[in-house]
Each structure stands twice: as C-alpha cells, then as structure tokens.
Amino acid sequence: MGLGLKTQIDPQEPRVIAAQGVVVHGSDRGTVRAFWYDTLQPNLRRIVTTAGAIMAPPTLGGLNAIATQSPAGGAMAGGIAAVVGAAGYGVHRAVQSFHRRGTELSITLRPELFTAMKANPAEKEYFQAMTGMDLDSLQVNPTTNLIEKIPGRIAVETTRNANTVRDEIRQGITALRSLYADIGLPLKSLESTPADVILRNTLTTTGFQQSEARWEKTIIDQFDANRSGVRDIWNNTADSPLFCVGPLGLAMPGATPDYDNLDTIGNLRRFRKAEQDVYVKKAVESIGVLMKGDPSRDGIGLESVKAIRSSIATKKDGQETNTAAGNRAKEARKKIEALDTTKTETAGKKTPLKVFATTQEAPKKIERTLREEFKLTIITDIPTTIDTEITRLKDELNTAYNGGDSLSKQHTEARRNWLDVYKTEFEDVSRRRAAALGTTTGSVDNADVKAIATERANLQHPEKDQLSKEIKDRDDRIQKLTELKDASQEAIKTQQETESATLENLPKELSETQKAYDDLVAPAGGAPTITPAELGSKTFDELVVLATNPPYSISNTTPEEKAELRKTILRAKSEHEARQIEIYDISPVVQVDVYNQIVNPAVGGGTLNANDLFTMSDAQLTNLLHNPPYRWSTDPAFTTSNLEALQHAQTEARKKLRIRYQTSLDVQIKDLDQQIEVQNKIVKSADETTENTKGIIELTDRLLNPTRQGEIFTKAVQIPDSIATFTDSVDIGATNNTYSEQERTVNAPRGYYETLNLLFNYQDTPNRGAEFQKLHKVFPPEQLAERMHNAFNLGLTAPFTMKDALDQINGHIAVTRNISYPQLYTGFRDMINQLANEVNAL
C-alpha cells in the first residue's frame, strides 16, 4: 500500500491554485487517493482531534471511544463534517482528478465552505496542516465567486515544521489503516472508485468513458440540480441563509452556522444517487445508439470492437498472411525466391567456365606426363617443349651423343664389330662341331651354333645391344612425344573454341578485385585488422563488422552504402580465392615471366594491366611495349619473338581474369546461399510463431462470442460460492480418474482446470481431453497464472506459479476481501479484453 513508506503529501511539494480549490501533487496515484480518502475525507470525522494533535493508534476496544471522542473545538468537527458533507462532490471531484492526472489531488471547495473554514482558526489550521496551504492567502472573488489568490499577498504556506506535518499525516493514516483492517475493510479496493469499473474497460468505447472532467461536472450538476445538493438536517440548501442554522421559522438568519447540523448521511445518499443517475443515463444513451447501429455518434467505438473482431476473424482465416508473423514469412519467401533466381542465373554463368575447365584436363594430363615421365619442364608451351625434346632425341640418334658420334653411328659400328666376331665364332664353332661329329660343316645344326656364336659375340661386344636399347628407347619416346603433341594441339584447339564463350562474360574487373583486396588487407588508414586468411575464413557479416570499424570505418548506413560495401567484400574474397587457386594452377614459366614484366612495376612493368592485355589489340599493345618503360626492340628481327611473348602474356592475362571470374561467381553463390539461409531461418521462426498463434487467435475468437462471455461473467461472480474448488491449489494427481488422461498428464492444481473450464466450458465437450490439450498449449499454467495476476492485480513477485496465484486469489476473496464481486467481473473482463488487444496486434 505504500502506507507510511513515504510522505502522502510532501509539504514542500509545489501547489497551485485552481479555480475552485487547490491542487496538491502527491507521489503516486494510490497514495494520493488513499490520503484523500483516509485523511481529508475521514470516515471517522473526529479522527483528528485538534490540529497538530497526534492521535494514538486505536485498539479494537477503543474504536468506539475514538468514534465518540469530542474534538477540542466543536467547529473542527463541523468543519470536517462540512468537508464531508460537501463531499459528495468534494470527494468525487478530487477522486476523479486522479484518473487522468494520476498524482494530483484537487480539493474542491465551494466558496461558502471556503469562507466558513477561513473564518474558523481551527479549521484553517487543520487545512494548512493537511495541505500546507495558507487560506489567508486566498479569497473569494466577489464578481466571479471563484477562489483566487489575494493579489500581492505572499502565502505563508506553513509555519510548522515540514517533518512534523509529515509525521502527523503519516500517523493519522497509519491509525486509519489499522482501523480499517480491524473492521474488515478491503484496503486495496479503497484505491479504486466506482467509476473505475467503467473507466478501466479497454474494450468499450471512449464515448462511454467520458473524460474525467466531464464525469465530475455531470455528476455535480446532477447532484445540485436533481438531488438538491448539500442539505442540512432541516432540509435547507447550502444557499439558504438558514443553512445549518436552524429550521425555517425558528432560526435567525445571519446566525453562525453549526455544521454539525449537516444531513451527512442524506447528502451521501443523494450524491450516490446522482452518481448512479449519471452512470445509468450514459449507459442508456450508449446502448440506445448501439442498438440503433449508429456508429457515428459520440465516438461510441462500436467500430473499434468491430475492427478488433474483424481483425481476429481475418487472422483466423488467413493466418499465413494476416498476422505480423505471417507477413514476415511471406516477405522472406519472396526474398528467397528472388535470391534463388539470382543464384540460378549466377550459376548459369559458370557453365562456359565448367566447359572450359574440362578442356584443361587433357593439357594438364599431358603436362603431368611430360613432367613425370619425360622429366620435362614446360617453358613456353607444350608443343614447343615437345618439339624441343624430339629434336634433342633425334640429335642424339642422328647427330651426336654425349659429345661423340650419334647413337645410330655408334650402333652401326658396334654392330659391325659384333658381326665380325659373330662370323668368326660361327665358323669356328661349326668347324669344331663338324669335326666332332665326323661330318661336313654344312650339316651341323646352325641354330645351336648361332646361339653359341651370338653369346660369344655379345660377350665381346655388349655395347651393340645396349646401343640398340638406347636407340629403341629414343624411338619410343619420340613416338610418344609425337602422340602427345598431337593430343596437345587437339586440346589447344578445343580450348580455343570453348574459351571464346568464357571470354564473352568476363567481367573485366581484375583491377577491381585487386583494389578491393588491397583496400582491406593493406589499407592506407592504418594497420589492417583483416588478414588475407580471414578474407577466406570469416563470414560476410563478420567482415562487415571489421570493415565498418577503424582503420577502415566504411560507412554502412544507406542502402547504397550497404550495396557498395557488399561488393567490396565479395570482390576482396574473390581475389583471395583466386590467389589460392593460382598457387596450384601453375602457368608455364615464360608465360608468367612475360606477364609480370608487363604488369608488375617491381620488375619493370606497370602501365599496362591484365584488362588491357585482354581488351587492347595486338597493334595497340605492341606500340605501347615499344615505349617506356618497356622499350621492347623495334628491330624487325624481334618482331616474331615479341609477338610470341605478347601472346604468352595475353594468355596469362586471360587465365587470371578467368580465375577471378570463376571465384567471383563462386563467392557470389556462397553469399547468396548465406542470405537464403538467413531468410529460411526467418521463415521457420515466423512459421513457428504462426503455428503458436493459431491457437490463441482461435481461443480469443471464442471468448469474444457474446454468449460465451456472458456465461463467463455469470460464473465469475459465483466463484465465492465455490471458492474452495476454484482456488484449490493442490495438484489433481496423476491417477485422478475424474479427469481425462490429457488433464492427468499435466497434473496441475485443480484451480487451473477450473479456471480454464470457466473460460471455455471444455469439460462438457465430447472431446474433453483433446480440447484440454488445445487450451493447455495456449494457456499453460504459468501463463494463465500471469494473466490472472495481471487481471486481478494480485501483487505477487515473479517468479510465481499457478499455485501461488490461486492461493493469492483465495486470500483476497476469503480473507482481505480485496477481490469481491465487482473485481471478479472486472478481472475476467480485463483478461478477455487484453487477449483481444494482444491478438489484434499480432
């Protein structure tokens, strides 16, 4: 309650004078309302005896004594009674002030009451003690009859110590609170007014919920005009000279009024009746308009209810698109479709590159064979390398070998020598064999003799076979090299035919990828925070974070800036990938050398780049190469070699551009994949939300059925009759067969099921278990507890359970009586209306 925890009215707080009273600012609505109700409109009018006297806290036995205790000054009671009597409008006017302004206390004083209080020292002091206002600084303007500050007069707000005033107020309030508790008054419910029941309804119309000032005026007018306003016990009205003086005919006009003669109870009843008249009249007007279906009048927001219910019905029917989540999913799916299209187009651009790549297989295989089998290094190109090798081999065969005669010549010599030996041995072996056999040499088995002669010739001249082998080896190599050359030329032809398709689409942005790469890994602004390796390993989003901070500080705010940064990062990534590929995709040495000579300033090049080599004609390039810094010879003898060199450089340029084009497409596709993944996550999350919200939409729609709602309200106010059941916080038990299996599985406090049943009447449905599951999914115990906590203002501290909520409700109904019939109705009403607003906002 805040009682005693802070000053109800801080005497040092600012005060202003309103037209008909004073406005005092308090610290919060509840405490200011409580202050007015407790202190300035005391139910026990003699609770403050004299101004400044501290009242002892009452005991039960002493309550009546306090109630009958006479004040030190009769006028004090009368003065307070005067406040109470007028009160009818004083209280409610002040109370109504709270609703919108919250922490103001507007104390309305009728001029005649003000005059009476000002004339009475005790009243004046009491008023000043309570509010700190000096009534002597105010007067009633004789023309306007309004209370105003006396011009030029400085208000002596209080001569009393502020802390003393504060303490007295606090003690007075404490005493009253203690009293109220002793007599069973629900302290919490004191903080709200009858009009709050209407004013706090968030679903019904603003037209019905008049502004606070209009309520006050309407009620006061009703009270004065139709209920005769304030009267005394002789039925004199406040404007009568006999008011509180005496009955007509017996009293002397002009005599001092005794406010003990106020018809307090009558005034209270009349005021209440006036208030009731206003509520009823307004209800009739609103209902009449609603029945006639005229929504234009007075902002009776039938439209707002129609809009909410229509919105809910629309969401129920087309949840995929009619909720925020549904729209998010729809947007994300659209983006995915667009990204997929871009991805397909991008992937399509790789086809010529893929085809070209397949044409490189054959030359690569040939290269490998030349390297591994023939131990050859490709200096210029494969055919040239092969030709050179064949020439060498042929030279060895036919010209010279190891500084001596050619292999052929050596072999011829060796063969001659071998033959000589063979011949000699053959004759010798034949003769000996014939002699051994006793025949002529012509009849000896030559095969045997040949074998022996061969063996002996081989022993003497082994070089013949060695040389034969050498010659055969070279012949085989020449044969194979010739085949490889043919295959190479065929592959080159195929490459050239497919290359044109790739060349068509080259973005010609080698310099742009190079620049983007250099900007990130070697920025001008300071030491880089992105390494080449990180260009490959970090995600796009991670690189954005780095790029938007020092030393780069690239702006990433507008859509254009975002698009530009994206391009930069993707190009840099592409350059990094390309360089990785080039580590393993080795070009012929002469190709690389000539290319570097032309483009790399460090080795004498610099004014031409790869794009130039690709786009300029041979003539343009040759002309430039004849000039500084290249100064290629213009001697016609070098024309052919220059052209060959240029062609090598151009080949290298095309290769570099092609690799970068490939990597840029790969990087783009990967980036598109990541963007698609992000959108897919949005879709998944949105779909999950939609799935979850389906339930709440459907159930809220049910609650907004007027028949269902009427039944809920009827049952709500019957809760006190079955409070033990409704607020039973003991779990039902897993084996309690009075509940369905689905209900038993949850095993929540009994009150949980009772509340759900009150709202949805599910226990009487044929599919009780399935129905319960649906309800439980949307309103699990903790969530329902939270809704009840908010609707009934239970005052629990999170985290709390359903059991806590039920116990608290039980306490408020059975013990403190803070929740009674009105609160039971408004609690369920507010729970339903809150759901309607939440679902409407989905």
Partner 1 sequence: MTLTTRSIIKILPFEEGFKTDLLDLFEQLDDDQKLVIQQILWDTYFAIYKGALEEKTQEAMVKAGEGKEKLDKEFYLRVEQEIEKEMQGVAVKQSESVDLGIARKAMELIIKEIRASKKKPRN
Of 377 and 705, the one with the shorter C-beta distance to partner 1 is 705
Assess contact for 260 and 186: CB atoms under 8 A.
no
Residue 113 or 302: which CB sits closer to partner 1? 302
Cβ closest to partner 1, residue 292 vs residue 375: 292
Q: How far is CA 318 from CA 185, 202, 327, 544, 814, in A?
A: 51, 26, 11, 38, 45
Kindly list the distances between the CA atom of residue 781 and the CA atoms of 64, 143, 531, 701, 751, in Å, as whole numbers in the listed order: 47, 65, 54, 21, 10
The distance of closest approach from Cβ of residue 5 to partner 1 in the complex, given in angstroms and rounded to an integer, is 24
- How far, in Å, CA of 517 to CA of 571, rounded? 7
Say which residues have a Cβ less than 8 Å from residue 455's Cβ, sequence separation at least 6: none
Our CB check for partner 1 shows the closer of 680 and 718 to be: 718
What distance in Å separates the CA atoms of residue 717 and residue 809, rounded to the nearest whole number?
Answer: 14
CB of 90 to partner 1, least distance (A): 13
Supply the minimum distance, in Å, between the C-beta of residue 826 and partner 1: 7
> Comparing C-alpha atoms, which of 199, 200, 196, 223 is closest to residue 278?
223
Residue 209 vs 662, nearer CB to partner 1? 209
First to last CA, the chain: 35
Q: Helix/strand/coil (H, E, C) string of 635-648?
A: CHHHHHHHHHHHHH
Residue 252, CB-side half-sphere exposure with 13 Å CA sphere:
3
- Backbone torsions φ then ψ of 100, nearest 5 degrees: -95, -40
Q: Encode 41-58: b = buried (16+ Cβ within 10 Å), e = exposed.
A: bbebbbbbbebeeebeeb
CB of 769 to partner 1, least distance (A): 29
Given the rule CB under 8 A, which residues bind partner 1? 43-46, 60, 63-64, 67-68, 179, 182-186, 192-195, 197-198, 201, 203-205, 208, 264-265, 268-269, 272, 275-276, 279-280, 283-284, 286-288, 290-291, 293, 300, 302, 305-306, 309, 704-706, 709-710, 713-714, 717-718, 817, 820-822, 825-826, 829
- For residue 528, count CB atoms less than 10 angstroms from its CB and return exposed for 0-12, middle for 13-18, buried for 19 or more: middle
> Is 210 or 650 the residue whose CB approaches partner 1 more closely?
210
Give CA separation, 328 vs 325, 397, 512, 778, in Å.
5, 80, 36, 22
Nearer to partner 1, 279 or 630 (CB): 279
Closest approach of Cβ 83 to partner 1, in Å? Answer: 13
* Residue among 715, 792, 805 at smallest CA distance from 186: 792
Q: Which is nearer to partner 1, 277 or 593 (CB)?
A: 277
* Residue with smaller CB distance to partner 1, 64 or 722: 64
CB closer to partner 1 out of 155 and 268: 268
- Alpha carbon distance 22, 372 (integer Å): 106
Minimum CB distance to partner 1 smaller for 31 or for 192: 192
**Beta carbon nearer to partner 1, 130 or 712:** 712
Write down the least CB distance from residue 123 to partner 1, Å.
Answer: 18
In the complex, minimum distance from the CB of residue 88 to partner 1, in angstroms, rounded to a whole number: 10
- Nearest distance in Å: CB 285, partner 1: 10
- How near is the Cβ of 163 to partner 1 at its closest, in Å? 30
Least spacing, CB of residue 195 vs partner 1, in Å: 6
Q: For residue 81, what are the CA distances in angstroms to 46, 138, 190, 674? A: 9, 21, 20, 78
Read off the tokens for 340: 């997929």
Instruction: Provide the 3-class DSSP secondary structure of residue 326.
Output: helix
103 backbone φψ class: left, alpha, beta (φ>0; ψ -120 to 50):
alpha
3-state secondary structure 331-360: HHHHHHHHHHHHHHHHHHHHHHHHHHHHHC
CB of residue 315 vs partner 1: minimum separation in angstroms?
16
Is residue 794 within 8 Å of residue 788, measured between CB atoms? yes
Rounded to whole angstroms, the Cα distance separating 103 from 97 reads: 8
**Separation CA 118–CA 127 (nearest Å):** 9
Q: How far is the CB of 158 from partner 1 (least distance, A)?
A: 28
